[in-house]
Amino acid sequence: MIAEIIVDVSAYPIDRPFDYLVPEALESVIEAGARVKVPFGPRKVLGYVTGLKQESALNPKKLKPIHELIDLEPVISGELLDLSRWLANHTLSYEIDALQVMLPAALRAKYEKFIVVTEPEQLLDADFIHFLAGRKRVPLKEVDSSSLMKTVKKYVGQGIIAVDTKVGQHTAVKKIRMIRIASHEKLQEVLSAIQSNAKKQIELVQWMIRHAEETLGAKTVMEQTGIQSTVLKAIIEKGAAVEEFAEMYREPDAPMLKDVAIPEVPTTEQQVALDKLAASADSGKAETFLIHGVTGSGKTEVYLRTIKHVLDKGKEAIVLVPEISLTPQMTARFKERFGPLVAVMHSGLSAGEKYDEWRKIHRGEVSVVVGARSAVFAPFQNIGIIILDEEHESTYKQEDTPRYHARDVAIKRSEHYGCPVILGSATPSLESYARASKGVYTLLTMTKRAKNQELPAVTVVDMREELKTGNRSMFSVQLADAIRQRMERKEQSVLFLNKRGFSSFVLCRDCGTVVECPNCDISLTYHRAHERLKCHYCGHEEQVPLVCPECESEHIRFFGTGTQKAEEEIAKLFPEARVIRMDVDTTRQKGAHERLLRQFSEGKADILLGTQMIAKGLDFPNITLVGVLAADTTLHLADFRAAEKTFQLMTQVSGRAGRHDLPGEVFIQTYSPEHYAIELSKAQHYEPFYTHEMMARKQYGYPPFYFVTLIQFTHEDLLKVADFAEKGSRYLKDNLSPDTVIIGPTAAAISRVNNRYRYQCLIKYKKEPKLTETLQQLIKYYRTDWIKSGLTMSVDVEPVSIY
């Protein structure tokens, strides 16, 4: 028997399955989708069986046998194997990358090198013998000095020792020690044989007699009896019990947030959506729905009830949420409804926890998974629905290879299972809304909030006017008044600060110089805690300068509206306010996110101040005020989606206010109040914004009217990168249809990162049948030739941002 195997090596000539001989002993157990260890050149690597066959086109004598079968149960189903091929093709990535992205990191290979002594030790010098300390196999990583490394190299050359690679797994199944206690009779027998001065042993056996034939955790036994493990061990040796190891799951802490009651009856709009979704789920056809529902319209409730419907039919559900920030409240709601049937997968879990959640799904022990992007690959075998909440979020697109969009993968999987996909949002992406308008997706609209509350009243505050009247603080008079009122009424406020691109930088007030990174064309970020400047692209760090490097003025200091600064201003304006700050710094610790949100939900703070991570998903009854401190930050991104992102963000944050009985109010502070994205978020009507933005996109030829593909080139040498970028675009121009537009090559908006110059070129097309083929050929040139000159090139089909 022959197995086709994709090996864990990313290189151009290797991006195809290789044939290996299946040893006879494995013939009856090996299956496609299992992992194996195979020889590859001089080493052993991990591989995935993608197919089995009787004959190879190659000479069977030349085929090498599989070294080891790792999985008796395949880790990748037939459906996911097909999906990986589609994914590799669709995103122009290596098949091995497409396979590995579907698995938890724990299942990917870990390669460890070992020194193995092959010749008698007499040949080794004293230092080396000392280093070996009697061992015949030593991990290479223990070699910590260059002189020792030299010795290793010398001995390897002489054939006295060898370096061997071991393929292992990152994280193991967690096992705990169990004690199976013997029968009553046996224990009596043991007891009578114990010497009378071994008091502890006697005590333990007497305890065991009361628990005869039970199996208990070793830890429990020790805790309950208060004896030490040596005593337990002695007793086990005498036959009073047997030691066993049992598999167990690492249980991530279940977030417990004070939640609102489960609604008893759906609203009319919810019912309409529910009926259509149920009918579609029962039809066995793949259909994609877009639920456009205003903030607080009860989309989540629609998801929950539809999932219930699907579970009742014995099927499974995948729910994707954009990022960890959403999961605490979301998971709490799902766990409340579906209890232990829910697995949770997000980046806040440890590798071991992720692996355990994955195994629960793989073994069919759960039927709902709530997770971030990669949960779209959950190894269910009978999917009944896939849901993407906040479908417009850019985090659904993976930024590294394979550069896939979870929405595309969800739709692809739904075609296999004949099940619906729900895309839900209060502010759909232009792409999705355009598809729904054309009837490609089925549009479901929910225009009212679930409890019929009004959407909050939105006021746009012109910060230029504030400055003219002498108010230099981050808070306009209106917003400050509104916060004060909330404090008096014991209601809660959410203050939102979009940090991206506008964090605190150091600026000279005399000449306007901003301190930039010497390696990248971007400003350095000021870190107050250590009084240092850091580059967030390459990690460069330096001291804050005392005088301006350009004009030597002493008026150089940090400028900006970081969350820390906002916190300080709040403390000055409202000394009595209890503030919770949520940003990357305060949520770094595991579980911090949940803890802070819980405190806020329990009313332990008046103000929640935070970045993007608080923009969505929060549903707390006492929030009646939302303030956006500076709306401009997203508006000025060098990206064709800047207006769309701003509108979405403004609508999402506004939606946090007045979701329950108390009415809400929103203040948006900005230096560009006349921009349409700001003006239209005031009325909170999506359609006028959609119409306006579509006109702009049409005029400039952007998605959804055109598709775009972004090619980026980087090199240490400016002339070289320009040269390769030129070569690349010429190749594209020569090979793609005349209707396709190729923009560039140009220097990227951030033109240098980590000492590498960045160039890019953008392909715009309506229909380009030769695209995949042409790009594959370009990638082939790159991987076989250009790469050797130090170039990196990446291809991003339908990128989410282009800077």
Feature table: binding site for Zn(2+): 508, 511, 517, 520, 535, 538, 548, 551
Of residues 297 and 670, the one with the C-beta less far from ligand ATP: 297
Q: Please, what is the minimum distance in Å from the beta carbon of residue 652 to ligand ATP?
A: 7
Segment 552 to 571, residues that bind Zn ion, using CB under 5 A: 553
Q: How far is the CB of 117 from Zn ion (least distance, A)?
A: 46
Q: Closest CB to ligand ATP among 55 and 264?
A: 264
Token pair 């701003």 in the structure block, residue:
646
Q: Which does 540 bind (CB under 5 to 8 A by kind): ligand ATP, Zn ion, none?
A: Zn ion
Q: Is 5 in the site for Zn ion (CB under 5 A)?
A: no
Q: Which of 702, 718, 619 has its CA nearest to residue 659? A: 619
Residues that bind ligand ATP (CB under 6 A): 260, 263, 265-267, 270, 293, 295-301, 426, 450-451, 617, 619, 655, 659
Choose between 300 and 374: whose C-beta lies nearer to ligand ATP. Answer: 300
From 405-413, 501-509, 715-723, 763-771, span contacting Zn ion (CB under 5 A): 501-509
Nearest CA to 99 out of 171, 2, 10 is that of 10
Q: Least distance to ligand ATP from the beta carbon of 609, Å?
A: 20
Residue 295, contacted partner among ligand ATP, Zn ion, none, CB below 5-8 A by kind:
ligand ATP
Q: Kindly state the smallest distance separating residue 496's Cβ from ligand ATP, in Å.
A: 14
Look-up of token digits 């629905």: 385
Beta bridge partners of 738: none
Among 461, 517, 566, 763, the residue binding Zn ion under the rule CB under 5 A is: 517
- Asked if residue 550 binds Zn ion (CB under 5 A), the reply is yes
Q: Which of 56, 77, 381, 513 binds Zn ion (CB under 5 A)?
A: 513
CB nearer to ligand ATP: pick between 80 and 426: 426
Q: Give the SS3 label for residue 304.
A: helix
State which residue, 426 or 474, has the beta carbon closest to ligand ATP.
Answer: 426
- How many residues bind to Zn ion according to rule CB under 5 A? 15
Query: Smallest gap, in angstroms, from Cβ of residue 607 to ligand ATP?
Result: 20
Cβ-based nearer residue to Zn ion, 369 or 535: 535
**Counting contacts by CB under 5 A, is residue 511 touching Zn ion?**
yes
- Under the criterion CB under 5 A, does residue 519 sit at the interface with Zn ion? yes
Summarize the annotated binding site as residue ranges: 508, 511, 517, 520, 535, 538, 548, 551
Instruction: Select from ligand ATP, Zn ion, none the partner in contact with residue 619, using the beta carbon and a kind-dependent cut-off of 5 to 8 Å.
Output: ligand ATP
Token pair belonging to 184: 């009553």
Please select the residue that binds Zn ion; options are 205, 235, 508, 761, rule is CB under 5 A. Answer: 508
DSSP-assigned beta bridge partners for residue 181: 241
> Is residue 535 involved in binding Zn ion (CB under 5 A)?
yes
Cβ proximity of 444 and 292 under 8 Å: yes
Angle at 120 between CA 117 and CA 125, to 5 degrees: 80
Q: Which region among 5-13, 204-212, 534-542, 676-684 touches Zn ion (by CB under 5 A)?
A: 534-542
Q: How many residues does the chain have?
A: 803
Write the DSSP symbol of residue 253. Answer: P
Kindly give the interhelix angle for 642-654 and 676-683, rounded to the nearest 10 degrees: 30
Binding partner at 300 among Zn ion, ligand ATP, none, C-beta below 5 to 8 Å by kind: ligand ATP
CA pair distance 319, 371, nearest whole angstrom: 6
Cβ nearer to ligand ATP, comparing 454 with 785? 454
Element (H, E) at 192: helix 184-193
Min. distance of Cβ 589 from Zn ion in angstroms? 26
Nearer to ligand ATP, 389 or 632 (CB): 389
Minimum distance from residue 756 beta carbon to Zn ion (Å)? 10
CB of 396 to ligand ATP, least distance (A): 16
Please state the φ and ψ torsions of residue 648, each to the nearest 5 degrees: -60, -45
Q: Is 220 in the site for Zn ion (CB under 5 A)?
A: no
> CB under 5 to 8 A by kind: which of ligand ATP, Zn ion, none does 609 bind?
none
Backbone angles phi, psi at 181, to 5 degrees: -80, 140
Name residue 3's beta-bridge partners: 20, 52
Collect contacts of 20-25 with beta carbons under 8 A, ≥24 apart.
Answer: 20/47, 20/63, 20/64, 20/65, 20/66, 21/60, 21/63, 21/64, 21/65, 21/66, 22/52, 22/65, 22/66, 23/65, 23/66
| Min dist. Cβ of residue 276 to ligand ATP (A) | 17
The distance from CA 215 to its chain's CA centroid, rounded to whole angstroms, is: 39
3 state SS of 220:
helix
Interface with Zn ion by CB under 5 A: which range of 107-115, 265-273, 520-528, 761-769? 520-528
Closest CA to 131 of 104, 106, 112, 150: 150
Binding region for Zn ion (CB under 5 A) out of 166-174, 541-549, 575-583, 670-678:
541-549
Q: Which of ligand ATP, Zn ion, none lies near 513, with the C-beta cut-off 5 to 8 A by kind? A: Zn ion
Q: Which of Zn ion, ligand ATP, none does residue 553 bind (CB under 5 to 8 Å by kind)?
A: Zn ion
- 3-state DSSP call for residue 58? coil
Minimum distance from residue 754 beta carbon to Zn ion (Å) = 6
Q: Report the candidate in 634, 592, 595 with the shortest Cα–Cα distance to residue 612.
A: 634
Segment (H or E) for 187: helix 184-193
Among the residue ranges 206-214, 538-546, 695-703, 721-729, the one whose residues contact Zn ion (CB under 5 A) = 538-546
Check: CB of residue 510 under 8 Å from CB of residue 555: yes
Which H helix or E strand runs over 280?
helix 268-283
3 state DSSP class of 369? strand
Partner whose binding site includes residue 299, from Zn ion, ligand ATP, none (CB under 5 to 8 Å by kind): ligand ATP
Nearest distance from C-beta of residue 183 to ligand ATP, angstroms: 55
Written as six digits, the tokens of 339 are 């209890």
Q: Which is nearer to ligand ATP, 664 or 673 (CB)?
A: 664
Q: Which does 535 bind (CB under 5 to 8 A by kind): ligand ATP, Zn ion, none?
A: Zn ion
Distance, CA of 614 to CA of 610 (rounded, Å): 6
Cis peptide before 704 (omega within 30 of 0): yes
DSSP assignment letter at 14? G
Among 548, 614, 762, 800, binds Zn ion (CB under 5 A): 548
Beta strand extents in 398-475 (DSSP E only): 420-425, 442-446, 457-462
Radius of gyration of the chain (CA): 31
Please choose which of Zn ion, ligand ATP, none residue 742 contacts, taking the beta carbon within 5 to 8 angstroms, the exact cut-off set by kind. Answer: none
Residue 514 touches Zn ion, criterion: CB under 5 A? no
The residue among 263 and 501 lying less far from Zn ion, judged by its C-beta, is: 501
CB of residue 719 vs Zn ion: minimum separation in angstroms? 21
Q: Does 520 participate in binding Zn ion (rule CB under 5 A)?
A: yes
To which residue do tokens 């030129």 refer?
Answer: 726
User: Who's near 58: CB < 8 A, 6+ residues apart?
Assistant: 19
Whichever of 192 and 452 has its CB closer to ligand ATP, that residue is 452
Residue type, 736: L
Note whether 538 binds Zn ion by CB under 5 A: yes
End-to-end CA distance of the chain: 50
The full DSSP string for 578-645 is: -EEEESTTTT-STTHHHHHHHHHHTT--SEEEESGGGSSS---TTEEEEEES-THHHHTSSSTTHHHH
Would you count residue 551 as binding Zn ion (CB under 5 A)?
A: yes
For residue 335, CA distances in Å to 47, 301, 349 come to 36, 14, 17
**Tokens representing 672?**
């560009």
Which residue from 207, 537, 705, 781 is in contact with Zn ion, where contact means CB under 5 A?
A: 537
What is the number of other CB atoms lying within 10 angstroms of the CB of residue 705?
Answer: 15
Least CB distance from residue 747 to Zn ion, whole Å? 16
Q: In whole angstroms, how close is the CB of 658 to ligand ATP at the nearest point? A: 11
Q: Of the two residues 520 and 615, which places its CB atom closer to ligand ATP in the complex?
A: 615
Binding site for Zn ion (CB under 5 A): 508, 510-511, 513, 517, 519-520, 535, 537-538, 540, 548, 550-551, 553
